[in-house]
Structure 1
């Protein structure tokens, strides 16, 4: 009888949720409702940056409500004028298993499609986050690539390399010429920011941003490296190298270490070297102890206009 009663109560509550469900964009006054959600997340960064998410126009965050109860939260951020990345998805534990997250992101996706100039939509979630990946699959956003977020924890292992430093390119027009070669392959995934990779397009390479990126070419001029400042929780020297021979290029690791010190001097702050490694790059790491690896992040997404 206890099991039957539990089943009845659950279905009664589910019907109440269905009867009162509605969506709306969150406002500053919704902070209390967000804090009252039981998500199981300790020190939730969405709460910490909530004001910024509300006030900055490139972010948008929505809620699914059952009456006055905030059940699910999710939204998107716009990058490089045309990419919408879904994220910040969490659901109150008491309402999980009822499809709330999928319903909310379907609503968010419809809102994105109303925006002018947004040509791509996607999401990035860790491989073990099965519920998040399931939601993205239900939205019709296919898996594109696995990337291993990797931070160097023993930089001295890079400084021991004997190859020559690569040649730095200072002229912004020459930098742009090198970056334009990437757009010839529409399947290239470019780690635009930490945790935010996108299929490559010219909008990722604005001159005002590129001028601050460090760009180096090898002696045979068939490979190049980008190192740029980034910050999420920590400050990073975000390192971008798009070929699988990362560990075989003479002088490349030494150049990365040199670029990191160059950025640190400019900002007067120390930082971590960070990579987004492909499966092949991750499998060929020469010294596991030099790095801290996260579970792979899986990029989902599609072009809306192709």
Structure 2
């Protein structure tokens, strides 16, 4: 008789079961950082088991003083695909997050073309949101069509940094790109003193625009650019400012820039960038 599947929170003792999974992912970072994930206060991993075999793995990370929970790291054993294992795994995880009084928002970020993952999220009642384009500026010598200008004025005051963010009246991006691959709703819970201190802010001469840039590591080191308008190519000095940060952080492989759908369409020439398939953010606010 077939054993019932069960979901459990993973510990370091589950590492051998994870290693036995056939996910088809070479050099899977979840395997590499497994110990850190299962011993962290802000990350949790879960496994779907049957007959002692791990059939799927996934979990969540907490951000913004534990207000935001981002689902992710979902992998399934290829030998058991098309069995609804991802939904079976994530449903109790989402149910647990719904009961967590700290968490106000539950979401996930996936490729626009990843229809199986999107179907799982819809089954879980998580709503479709913003489309985001991730581009990495790696060949500034090929950058064309932008408006040249002087490097913008750096902002050092923590109060001024916070005032710029909280005073934002429009956000064409539709999200707050907290880290590479981790956009969230624009929310002050994300703007901790430590986070703002780590971000470099630059303000335009007319003081109607600003850009945030933070060093971030996702396998490689990046200058992660956070700009909330679609007029990248019209603002004098914006790209000079972005490249100024990169020049001051030469170990970074490039400048990661989040573009909205319209912002992406406004780019006149893509050859300067590494371009990823578009992503889509899903998210649901919990009822008070």
TM-score above 0.5: yes
Q: Distance in 1 between matches of 2:173 and 2:278?
A: 19
- 8 Å Cα contact 1:25/1:63 also seen in 2: yes
Q: Tell me the residue number matched to 2:125.
A: 140
Aligned residue in 2 for 1:208: 194
Q: Which protein shows a greater Rg?
A: 1
Q: Is the 8 A contact 1:121 1:303 kept in 2?
A: yes
| Cα distance change, pair 183–141 in 1 and its aligned pair in 2 (3 A) | farther
Question: Aligned pairs, how many?
Answer: 286
Unaligned stretches of 5+ in structure 1?
A: 1-14
- 1:284 equivalent to 2:266? Answer yes
Gaps of 5+ in 2: none
1:20 Cα deviation after fit:
1.9
- Alignment deviations for residues 26-45 of structure 1 (CA, whole Å, 9 cap, x no partner): 11111111111111222211
Deviation, 1:221, is 1.2
Alignment of 1:13-52 (within 5 A): 16=2, 19-52=3-36
More helix by share: 1
How many Å separate the matches in 1 of 2:164 and 2:252?
A: 28
* 1:170 and 2:152 correspond: no
CA deviation after TM superposition for structure 1 residue 162, in Å: 2.9
Q: How far has the Cα of 1:196 moved from its partner?
A: 0.2
Q: 2:79 — aligned with what? A: 94
Q: Does the Cα contact within 8 Å between 2:19 and 2:31 map onto a contact in 1?
A: yes
User: 2:241 maps to which residue?
Assistant: 255
With normalisation by structure 2, the TM-score equals: 0.93
Q: What are the residue-to-residue correspondences of 1:65-144 with 2, within 5 Å? A: 65-81=49-65, 82-144=67-129
CA contact (8 A) 2:134 2:256 kept: yes
Aligned-CA RMSD value: 2.0
TM-score (structure 1 length as normaliser): 0.88
Q: CA deviation at 1:145?
A: 0.8
Q: Does 1:273 align with 2:255?
A: yes
The answer to whether the Cα contact below 8 Å between 2:151 and 2:240 also exists between their aligned partners in 1 is yes
